[in-house]
Structures are given as structure tokens and as C-alpha cells.
Chain A
């Protein structure tokens, strides 16, 4: 029997892994900077809350609703992103985060600053899921998302994303429809963030706009950067570290954001590839070990 405390930490780790992977897809693979991922998580969480508390629908219906709602908004932001890149895109997504929080703070249907409570726990055949079962559901969601991201990044879609990340204009001249693939990256990324919001809402059961403010978007980026962009393992490790370690550093709780900021600066200065990014110090040394050595890409490998 796992103690409740550890289960809570593990569930939050799963939610953060999803948030981190959403950054990993958008920024790590497709090279589109987003400083508004918390807003998408918020849209997912509020959709889940709205569907169950206001519309009285099944909490399971919340999954497609949350994912679909965030994906639609992601599609819209993707359209906007076609005209923006780099710093300007970062600022636009940051602004988007403020707008979403502003709407949640002032719209009566979302409970304004008081947020939305009474969100039901997930239940199966009328019985609420236990914390263990909920953790299992979160782990299952993480595994499913990892599989989807892995599938995408090894496909030609992943190749197109990486080409866009490298030099967008050249990718365009090489026949990559950058409009389509950038929007697709936004849709996939925001859908994952929406799913993390759904899991968050049904775990904490009470959400406020302050859970999805800009600082949390910075946190999401920190998770992915710490682990290593352009990989799946990086964002996963980053999320695990930054969920578990703060639990042992509660005495500096008030300086948490300061610590994240410093961590981000240090990582970007000394290990821009993250802790286990493809060219990080740690990963290059690990891959020299036989068990981690990757086979070169060959025709046979694609069979």
C-alpha cells in the first residue's frame, strides 16, 4: 500500500509530465515557442469542470470535451502563429495566457476569482475511483500520450516538424507545407495540455484561475528545458525532477519561482540541451555505454 502522500506526488508528476510533453512537442520538435501552456491546461481543466458541474454530463465525457476544446483553441493560435515566430510568438502566447486568465477571472459562468468547485471524482459504474486507481489512470494517460508522441516524431510528420524548427523558410522551399504542420503541432501540443488540465481538475476537485497563470507556463517550459528539448525522455525527466525535488525543498517554498528562474538560466547557460537532451553531457556519456547505443538509421531499420 503506497502512502497517500506519495500517491499525490506521483499523480502531480503525471500531470506535469503531460504538461511538459506538450511543450516538448511544440517547442522541442516543431520549434514554436509557447509561453502560454498553462492557459491550455486551464482551458482543459475548466472544460472538465464545466461539463460535469454545469452541464451534468459524465465525467468521462470530459476527456474528449477537454481535449477537443483545447485543440480548437490551439488550432486558432496555430493560425495566428503563422504570422509570428521566435520572440514575437513567445510574447503573443504569453499575452494569450493573460487573456485566458482574465476571461476566467471575470466570466460568471466560470465562477470568477472563486473558481469552480464540486468537481466530481472520476467514477466507474457509480463508484468513485480510489486514489490508487486514479494514479493508474494518470499513468495510463501518460503512457498513451508518450506512445502517440513517439509515433509522431519518428514519422515523416516529425521530420517535417524538425525541418520547420531548423529553418522554416528552407523547409517550405523543400516542399513542407509549413502552415499545415505548424498548426498540427499546435493542435497536438494543446490537446496534450488540455488532457493534463482534465486530470488536474478531477484530482484537485477545485480549480481557480490562479492555477493557470503565466508563472505556471514558465514552469512548464522549465520542465521541458531542464530535461532536454527535442526528446521524449527529457520532458518526462524534467517533470519528475521538478515535481519531486520541491517536496524536499519546502523550506524555500516562497522562493520557488526565483529558484525555477535561476535553474532555467543555469541550464540554458551550461547545458542548453538539458540534462538528458541528445547532446547533453550526461546523455553523450550514457550513450557510450553499449546498452544505450543507438543503431544507425538504415533501410533495414525501417522494415
Chain B
């Protein structure tokens, strides 16, 4: 693979590793509550009323957790989508496709910083 990303593979893999570990750990309660329990009425909606959500998210730990559950899964996602495309015969295209996928994760991570800062 005379690959433009060869020298960055260790960093990409580290980000992917954190993404799959902490992304999974942080997204599980997010999906449970924000994705399912509140919309289904199992948990009252005022648990995440604007005032309360804003209060939680404004705390430095809240901001860090939110950054983690936005940015880290993007690296897991980009990396695994890249591997899926290779597995389905896209090895030759990887040199062009992989940078685009990781650019997507990078843009998402930068936007995650902006999103948590502007709360």
C-alpha cells in the first residue's frame, strides 16, 4: 500500500481504539435515555428540559463527555467503514477513500469542539 496515510496509521488506530472503547461506553446511556427512554415516556421529558440539559452540558465534565460521545465514535465509524469498503473489493480505491473518511471524522471532531464550547 503506497498509501498517503501510512505514516499516520498508528494515530488513526489509536483514535479508532478510543472510539470503539469510549464511544461504546458513552453512547450506551445516551441512546438509552435520549434515544429511547425520554421519547417513549419511560423517563419524563423534563429530565432533559432545556434548563437542566444546559446546566449539565455547561459543566466542564459535561462538555468533555459530550465531546467524547460525538467525536470518538466518528473515528470508529470512519475506520470500520473504510475496512468494510476494502472487504467488498475496494482495496485499490482505499488510497482515495480513506483520507475522505478520516477527513469526515476530523471535521466532525472539530465541530464537536465548537458545539460543546458554544453551549
- Please determine whether chains A and B interact with each other in the same assembly: no
Interface residues of B (CB under 8 A from A): none
Interface residues of A (CB under 8 A from B): none
